[in-house]
Amino acid sequence: MCLIGICRPTEMGVRYDTHLRFLQMRKEVEQKVDLEQKKSIVADLHERFSRSKVLIVTDYKGLDVTTINALRRQLREADVEFKVVKNSLMVRAAEDTDVDLIKDSFKGPNAIAISYDDPVAPAKVLTDFAKENEKLEIKLGVMEGKVMDLGAIKALSSLPSKEALIGQLLSVINGVPTGLVRTLNAIPAGFVNVLQALKDQKDAA
């Protein structure tokens, strides 16, 4: 019992030990929650790495928050994810995926661009953005089990996007029946002209 703020040594020791046990229990709970969160992040990343068409690693050191948000917005508009994750978690998530080929690049302040559909989109957005923002460093990437250096990523960025290719294909497809119809329409007209010419010659004779 404590009287007027003065506690007996035994009581003080008990209260101190209880406080230590409480702190230890809280630390263990926090560590467990932190471990579960890390496992969840790794599992989620692994799933994303497994189904990605292309993944490009960038170094965003030197970019301010406004610039990073602008880049993230442009990538999002192109259906590309842009994530900043601890390197240690990315290394673990890369196991048994193509991304494992470039895990040694997960050093420093990295951000990754992931596309699940159009492999050209992230290369094009990042390359164009880096032209205006030299502090953005495009390091390397991986696509279909192949490692891409900066030169390969720039070459990829120069290709038509999937949307553009689809548009070109539709133009070709639409052009085929149009030309065919015109040809078919021209055949009867030409045939009629030939018959008319033969008839005129016969009448003249």
Quick: pLDDT tens for 195-204: 445 445 556 6
The predicted-structure confidence for 17-40, as pLDDT tens digits, reads as follows 665 665 666 655 555 557 788 888
Whether residues 143 and 174 share a domain: the answer is no
CA–CA distance, 89 with 81 (Å, rounded to integer) = 17
* Residue 80 phi, psi (nearest 5): -120, 135
Q: How would you class 202 by CB atoms within 10 Å of its CB: exposed for 0-12, middle for 13-18, buried for 19 or more?
A: exposed
Residues 51 and 146 in one domain: yes
**pLDDT tens-digit profile of 115-149?**
998 889 999 999 999 999 999 999 999 998 999 99
pLDDT in tens, 78-115: 999 999 989 999 999 999 999 999 999 999 889 999 99
| Number of compact structural domains in the chain | 2
Instruction: Please tell me whether residues 197 and 138 are part of one structural domain.
Output: no
Residues 153 and 180 in one domain: no
Question: How is residue 106 annotated by DSSP?
Answer: -
- Helices 120-132 and 150-157: crossing angle in degrees, nearest 10, is 100
Q: Are 71 and 82 in contact (CB under 8 A)?
A: yes
Report yes or no on 186 lying in a domain. yes
pTM assigned to the model: 0.65
Domain ranges, residue 167: 161-205
